[in-house]
């Protein structure tokens, strides 16, 4: 270990700085190994490869004359920096589609690779999903979050690297068809009319057409984009498929899609707490979501909320100390030195996630 790391832009790199981890391209190939001393040629190579930010060791920054590290970003912010960069990339991709261009597969591949390379950062991913997002930017953040959640579910299900990549890509692209839906419908603050709702529902068909134009996108991924709003009982859209005819990727994206959508502020509603969403998913999704995928999601996802601060219906602030598997929405909480089992104290509920 060489101590603290900083994330800096390649444009700000100076000869003599040392890489704090291996720098890889979008295909996973190593460009520079960890602890490589940068020179002018290496810095130029990074620029030519399209690398924008790299981690360097603090001690190597301090040895470079004239460097002020105030412009650098500490490693603890690395995840959020890359997340925001990826949000900008998917925003640009959707904007291009809206203006008549084709899907920029190279750009979306870069996001998928970036995400998979950070697959062990579940804590950061879940924290990011729960952050307050701009309502106007909802679609772009939603695509990123559904992609991250789908990747985590695929890994929890031990589906293998190929399926993990497909789920990550399908999650990222699942709402790409919204680029073809009029923005006044996407951002309408009130209830959609019947005709507007029918147009909104067509986003999955639009998305399928967009991704199918690119022959390098796996057909199972394209089908997941088309069918992520189908339901187990056949009441979904656009085809009314029953669960036995919906592919596994679409089922995983559906769980991720619902969780992120319900825990986000929208133009027409305020977000629900994760615990309220757990209740709805656990007890009111029969016939909607695949039970195997849902159980894997709930049994793994809920662990990350132990230690969370919440506000109770009594007005008190509490800490979640134990998740109740029979009802994830009613955990055991600690208020000062007292413990309350919300599964027993039915009159007390969690009203806000802090």
Looking at 225-326, which runs of residues are DSSP E strands? Answer: 309-312, 317-322
Strand pairing partners for 18? 37
Looking at residue 1, its pLDDT comes to 41
Instruction: Tell me which residue of 58, 260, 249 sits closest to 148, measured CA to CA.
Output: 260
18 and 98 both lie in a single domain: no
Residues of the chain with pLDDT under 70: 1-3, 25-29, 65-78, 119-120, 132-136, 265-270
Residue 332 lies in a domain: yes
Terminal CA-CA length for the chain: 35
What's residue 76's pLDDT?
Answer: 46
Residue 308: its pLDDT value, please?
87
What is the predicted pLDDT for the residue at 62?
76
pLDDT for 3: 63
Give residue 135's pLDDT: 61
What pLDDT score does 276 carry? 92
Q: Are residues 108 and 39 in the same domain?
A: no
**Which CATH number fits the domain that encloses residue 195?**
1.10.3210.10
The pLDDT value recorded for residue 72 is: 52
- pLDDT, position 347: 93
Does residue 300 belong to any structural domain of this protein?
Answer: no
> How far apart, in whole angstroms, are the C-alpha atoms of residue 95 and residue 91?
6
Q: What confidence score (pLDDT) does residue 74 get? A: 47
CA distance 13 to 64: 10
Same domain for 149 and 113: yes
pLDDT at 75: 47
pLDDT digits (tens, 9 = 90+) for 151-181: 999 999 999 999 999 999 999 999 999 999 9
User: Do 243 and 114 belong together in one domain?
Assistant: yes
Residue 181 lies in a domain: yes
Are β-strands 73-74 and 338-341 bridged in parallel, bridged antiparallel, or unpaired?
unpaired
Report the alpha-carbon distance of residue 58 to residue 338 in Å, rounded.
44
Whether 134 and 250 share a structural domain: yes
Cα 195 from chain centroid (whole Å): 30
Report phi then psi at 96, rounded to 5.
-60, -40
Which structural domain, as residue segments, surrounds residue 127? 78-271
Task: Report whether 147 contacts 128 (CB < 8 A).
Answer: no
Secondary structure (3-state) at 5: strand
Q: Provide the pLDDT for residue 265.
A: 64
Query: In terms of domains, do 44 and 137 share one?
Result: no
62 and 105 inside one domain: no
């Amino acid at each position: 270990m060489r101590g603290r790391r900083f994330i800096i832009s390649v444009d700000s790199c100076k000869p003599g700085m040392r890489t704090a981890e291996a720098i890889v391209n979008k295909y996973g190939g190593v460009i520079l190994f960890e602890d490589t001393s940068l020179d002018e040629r290496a810095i130029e190579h990074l620029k030519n490869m399209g690398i924008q930010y790299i981690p360097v060791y603090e001690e190597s920054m301090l040895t470079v004359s004239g460097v002020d590290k105030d412009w650098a970003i500490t490693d603890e912010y690395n995840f959020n920096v890359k997340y925001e960069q990826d949000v900008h990339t998917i925003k640009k991709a959707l904007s291009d589609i809206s203006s008549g261009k084709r899907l920029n597969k190279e750009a979306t591949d870069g996001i998928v690779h970036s995400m998979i390379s950070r697959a062990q950062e579940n804590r950061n991913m879940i924290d990011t999903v729960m952050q307050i997002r701009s309502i106007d930017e909802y679609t772009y953040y939603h695509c990123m979050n559904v992609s991250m959640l789908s990747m985590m579910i695929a890994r929890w299900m031990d589906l293998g690297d190929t399926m993990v990549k497909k789920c990550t890509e399908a999650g990222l692209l699942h709402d790409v068809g919204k680029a073809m839906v009029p923005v006044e419908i996407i951002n309408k603050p009130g209830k959609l009319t019947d005709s507007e709702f029918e147009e909104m529902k067509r986003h999955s068909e639009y998305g399928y057409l967009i991704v199918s134009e690119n022959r390098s996108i796996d057909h199972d991924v394209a089908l997941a984009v088309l069918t992520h709003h189908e339901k187990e009982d056949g009441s979904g859209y656009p085809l009314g498929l029953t669960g036995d005819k919906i592919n596994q990727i679409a089922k995983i994206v559906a769980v991720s899609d619902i969780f992120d959508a319900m825990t986000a502020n929208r133009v027409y509603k305020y977000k629900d707490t994760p615990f309220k969403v757990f209740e709805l998913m656990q007890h009111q999704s029969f016939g909607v979501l695949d039970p195997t995928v849902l159980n894997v999601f709930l049994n793994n996802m809920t662990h990350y909320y132990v230690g969370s601060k919440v506000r109770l219906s009594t007005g008190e602030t509490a800490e979640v100390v134990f998740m109740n598997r029979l009802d994830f929405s009613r955990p055991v909480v600690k208020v000062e030195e007292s413990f309350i089992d919300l599964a027993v104290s039915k009159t007390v509920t969690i009203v806000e996630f802090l």
